């Protein structure tokens, strides 16, 4: 396999699959007391069905903001964005995505099971169905047996897995993850990355994943979006061809190092523009 | 054995008991010109003193290391206390207590201090034992304080109008249970409970409204602040004029007193849920009421319970003070104000004891519910694996 086969530019890819997220000329400006802050400017991006898209860039480059715009937690001030063909607001009302935050954000007064069933409860799904789906979701993240525990009785990694189970419980096709493993140590992070990949391979969900770790981005993604700060913009989009059932071993291959190098170059270029 | 290794409390106890044997037990009776009593005439008291000397010297060398030793010391102290009370009342020392008697009390004090100290430092993984130890310490300390009160008041012959001994208050309490029960029913069951429920309940609902409607937050909160600053002494007579002599006017005073703490705490509590959790609810397209019941109210509960606890004591104070300004001829505040006028200070103290009991029980009940309702809160968490 040569690098050319592994790495392709977006433009060369055939647009056969359905676009889940379609962003055109998107910009977002925060008005603050110190004047406007250009968080995002001129962002163009298409996320197709079954994609695993990583957003990588230094802090303050707007990657989290972009994810929040997709989730309708933040409103764009310019450009167009559609999720499954509708506005982010409508998509949110339809519960089109599951969102995993940087912190687990589990409610301390609910057991793990009742935390996982929280979205189902809000969606007014019957009790038996809720419990059944929670069981399935907890099994996916290997947390079965911990249903009756409370969040503080679990380790940080287990809490984050519970929060992923919660995002999976209502089976949305789109998974938005904002640095979900940022606060975890290397070993736990590798393990959760593997589990996430298996999950993605099995369910064919579309994943948008924010990270600031280059190996994580390259290992997980089918598409890497490199961003740079002030104003937040996309400076490179790299597609990879690793099989969906890839293992941690691919991190030793030349292709992997080649892509990681390209990501690093992109990040460096973004920075030099800034200074 | 060096000086530092000696048990100083036991040493003090032994020396004080020894001196107590030497110094006169009681003063001189003004009428007869004779000493009221001698240690030698009172075998029980002499035994108690001798026991204190022996045990004090023994434990000075041995040290009080174990709980068993602490219990032995406390048992000796209990025996000594019983004998001291007996000397006061059965041998006429009350009002004439001399240096010998007081030195003996000092000896008992040293024993009790050391004994309680040992039990207070008791740590066990056995829950029953630990609970028992945790229970014994405050009870023993409380009983000791009552004993000191009793002995000081009787021994020095303090006039009852100034301070009656606890035994007299206890006797009065037991003999007037029907009056106390009627007062309790009037003040606590009728006025305090209804005022508390109305005050806390309405403040809770208003807090949710204030949180929902921005102009209420700006307009009502400062106004509520002003209402809470109203002096209760000034408001109580007006409430009596508005709502009559019966419990309704007292409940009204309690509503005014409890409203603001509840309002402020609940409003603060409703903002206690983190931004992340609110975003989480937003991603599920959770509506206002759904978010209120599933996220914001549970997160507010520690604040709400704080207010409930503060208000549990405020309510009782409010009711008693309000009864000073007019009431039917029943009620704790009424009884206190009239019995003071009739110099029946023991009855006043019995009412105070009743108020203390009721207030503590009320607070304890609220704190217990809090513990059950917010067991997830970091301050109550028990790590179970």
CATH assignment at residue A212: 3.40.50.300
Give the nearest partner residue to A153 out of B285, B295, B385, using CB atoms. B385
Per-residue model confidence (pLDDT) at position A193: 87
Per-residue model confidence (pLDDT) at position B22: 85
Q: Does the residue A115 lie in any domain?
A: yes
A17-54 tens-digit pLDDT: 788 888 888 888 888 888 888 888 888 888 888 889 99
Give the nearest partner residue to B376 out of A99, A122, A150, using CB atoms. A150
Per-residue model confidence (pLDDT) at position B363: 94
Residue A191, min C-alpha distance to chain B (Å): 24
Do A178 and A274 belong together in one domain? Answer: yes
The tally of domains found in chain A comes to 2
* DSSP-based three-state secondary structure for B151: helix
* Any B CB within 8 A of A153 CB: yes
* A111 CB-near residues (< 8 Å, 6+ apart): A147, A148, A149, A150
Do A271 and A247 belong together in one domain? Answer: yes
Q: Does the residue A264 lie in any domain?
A: yes
Q: Does the residue A105 lie in any domain?
A: yes
Per-residue model confidence (pLDDT) at position B178: 92
Which chain A residue has its CA at the smallest distance from B296's CA? A107
Do A24 and A68 belong together in one domain? Answer: yes
Measured between beta carbons, the chain B residues lying within 8 angstroms of A99 are 279-280, 283
Residue A176, min C-alpha distance to chain B (Å): 10
Cα A135 to Cα B131: distance, rounded to the nearest angstrom:
39
Which chain A residue has its CA at the smallest distance from B278's CA? A105
Q: Does the residue A55 lie in any domain?
A: yes
Cross-chain Cβ contact A92/B381 below 8 Å: no
Q: Does the residue A194 lie in any domain?
A: no
Mutating which of B280, B300, B304, B374 best tests the A interface, going by the most A Cβ atoms within 10 A?
A: B280
What is the b/e burial string over B349-363, where b = at least 16 CB atoms within 10 angstroms of the residue's CB?
bbbebbbeebbeebb
Do A137 and A166 belong together in one domain? Answer: yes
Do A256 and A143 belong together in one domain? Answer: no
Do A102 and A35 belong together in one domain? Answer: no
Do A64 and A120 belong together in one domain? Answer: no
Do A91 and A209 belong together in one domain? Answer: yes
Do A77 and A211 belong together in one domain? Answer: yes
Interface of A with B in 70-109 (CB under 8 A): 71-73, 92-95, 97-99, 101, 103, 105, 107-109
Q: Does the residue A193 lie in any domain?
A: no
Do A153 and A211 belong together in one domain? Answer: no
Do A145 and A238 belong together in one domain? Answer: no
Cross-chain Cβ contact A107/B283 below 8 Å: no
* Any B CB within 8 A of A171 CB: no
Mutating which of A89, A122, A153, A180 best tests the B interface, going by the most B Cβ atoms within 10 A?
A: A122
Give the nearest partner residue to B284 out of A101, A103, A119, using CB atoms. A119
Measured between beta carbons, the chain B residues lying within 8 angstroms of A121 are 294
Q: Does the residue A189 lie in any domain?
A: no
Give the nearest partner residue to A122 out of B286, B301, B376, using CB atoms. B286
Do A101 and A91 belong together in one domain? Answer: no
Which one is the CATH code of B174-373: 3.30.300.130, 3.40.50.300, 3.40.50.2300, 1.10.3720.10?
A: 1.10.3720.10
Cross-chain Cβ contact B294/A73 below 8 Å: no
Q: List the pLDDT tens digit at each of the 275 positions of chain A.
A: 444 444 444 444 444 578 888 888 888 888 888 888 888 888 888 888 888 999 998 877 888 888 899 888 888 888 888 888 888 888 888 888 889 998 889 999 999 999 999 999 898 888 898 999 899 888 888 888 898 999 988 988 889 889 988 988 888 888 899 988 887 788 878 888 888 888 888 888 899 999 888 888 888 888 899 888 878 888 888 888 888 778 888 888 888 888 888 888 888 877 655 44
Per-residue model confidence (pLDDT) at position B3: 63
* Every domain of chain B and the residues it spans: 3-158, 174-373
Cross-chain Cβ contact B281/A109 below 8 Å: no
Domain interval for residue A41: 18-95+174-182+203-275
Give the nearest partner residue to B283 out of A99, A121, A152, using CB atoms. A99
Cross-chain Cβ contact B374/A95 below 8 Å: no
Confirm whether the ipTM is greater than 0.95.
Answer: no
Helices B232-243, B247-270: inter-axial angle, 10-degree rounding: 120
Blockwise average pLDDT, block size 10, chain B, 385 residues = 74 89 80 74 86 88 81 90 89 83 92 89 83 88 93 90 90 92 92 94 93 83 78 85 89 91 91 90 90 92 94 91 86 91 90 93 94 83 53
Pairs of CB atoms within 8 A across A/B: 53
Measured between beta carbons, the chain A residues lying within 8 angstroms of B374 are 109
Give the nearest partner residue to B290 out of A122, A150, A152, using CB atoms. A122
Cross-chain Cβ contact B284/A122 below 8 Å: yes
Q: Does the residue A178 lie in any domain?
A: yes
Cross-chain Cβ contact A122/B376 below 8 Å: no
């Amino acid at each position: 396999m040569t690098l050319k086969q592994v790495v392709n530019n977006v433009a060369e890819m055939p647009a056969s699959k359905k676009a889940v997220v379609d962003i055109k000329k998107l910009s977002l400006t925060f008005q603050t007391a110190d004047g406007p802050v250009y968080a995002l400017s001129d962002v163009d991006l298409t996320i197709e069905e079954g994609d695993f898209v990583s957003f990588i860039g230094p802090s303050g480059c707007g990657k989290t903001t972009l994810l929040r715009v997709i989730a309708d937690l933040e409103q764009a001030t310019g450009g167009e964005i559609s999720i499954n063909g509708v506005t982010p607001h409508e998509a949110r009302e339809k519960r089109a995505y599951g969102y995993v935050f940087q912190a687990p954000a589990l409610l301390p007064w609910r057991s793990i099971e009742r935390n996982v069933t929280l979205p189902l409860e809000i969606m007014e799904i019957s009790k038996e169905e809720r419990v059944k789906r929670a069981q399935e979701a907890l099994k996916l993240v290997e947390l079965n047996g911990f249903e009756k525990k409370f969040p503080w009785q679990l380790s940080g990694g287990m809490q984050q897995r519970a929060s992923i189970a919660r995002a999976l419980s209502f089976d949305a096709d789109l998974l938005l993850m904002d640095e979900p493993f940022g606060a975890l140590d290397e070993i736990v992070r590798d393990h959760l990355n593997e589990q996430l990949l298996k999950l993605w391979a099995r369910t064919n969900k579309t994943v948008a994943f924010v990270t600031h770790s280059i190996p994580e981005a390259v290992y997980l993604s089918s598409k890497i979006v490199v961003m740079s700060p002030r104003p937040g913009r996309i400076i490179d989009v790299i597609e990879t061809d690793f099989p969906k059932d890839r293992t941690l071993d691919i991190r030793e291959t030349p292709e992997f190092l080649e892509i990681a190098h390209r990501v690093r170059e992109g990040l460096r270029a973004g920075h030099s523009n800034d200074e | 054995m060096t000086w530092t290794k000696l048990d100083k409390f036991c040493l003090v106890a032994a020396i004080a008991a020894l001196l107590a044997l030497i110094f006169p037990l009681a003063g001189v009776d003004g009428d007869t010109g004779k000493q009221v009593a001698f240690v030698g005439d009172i075998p029980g008291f002499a035994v108690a003193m001798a026991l204190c000397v022996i045990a004090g010297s023994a434990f000075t060398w041995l040290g009080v290391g174990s709980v068993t030793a602490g219990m032995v010391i406390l048992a000796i102290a209990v025996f000594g206390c019983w004998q001291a009370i007996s000397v006061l009342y059965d041998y006429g020392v009350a009002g004439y207590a001399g240096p010998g008697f007081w030195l003996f009390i000092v000896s008992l004090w040293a024993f009790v201090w050391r004994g309680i100290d040992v039990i207070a430092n008791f740590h066990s993984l056995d829950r029953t034992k630990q609970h028992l130890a945790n229970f014994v310490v405050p009870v023993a300390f409380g009983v000791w304080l009552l004993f000191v009160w009793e002995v000081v008041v009787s021994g020095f012959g303090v006039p009852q109008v100034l301070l009656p001994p606890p035994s007299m208050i206890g006797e009065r309490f037991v003999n007037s249970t029907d009056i106390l029960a009627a007062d309790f029913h009037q003040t606590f069951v009728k006025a305090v409970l209804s005022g508390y429920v109305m005050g806390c309940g309405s403040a809770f609902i208003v807090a949710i409204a204030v949180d929902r409607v921005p102009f209420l937050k700006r307009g009502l909160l400062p106004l509520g602040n002003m209402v809470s600053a109203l002096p209760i002494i000034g408001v109580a007579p007006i409430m009596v004029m508005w709502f009559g002599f019966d419990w309704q006017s007292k409940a009204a005073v309690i509503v005014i007193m409890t409203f603001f703490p509840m309002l402020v705490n609940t409003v603060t509590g409703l903002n206690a849920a983190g931004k992340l959790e609110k975003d989480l609810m937003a991603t599920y397209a959770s509506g206002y009421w759904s978010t209120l019941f599933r996220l914001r109210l549970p997160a507010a509960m520690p604040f709400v319970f704080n207010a409930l606890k503060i208000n549990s004591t405020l309510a009782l104070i409010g009711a008693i003070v309000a009864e000073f300004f007019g009431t039917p001829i029943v009620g704790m505040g009424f009884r206190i104000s009239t019995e003071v006028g009739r110099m029946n200070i023991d009855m006043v103290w019995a009412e105070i004891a009743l108020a203390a009991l009721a207030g503590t029980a009320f607070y304890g009940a609220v704190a217990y519910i809090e513990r059950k309702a917010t067991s997830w809160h970091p301050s109550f968490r028990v790590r179970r694996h």
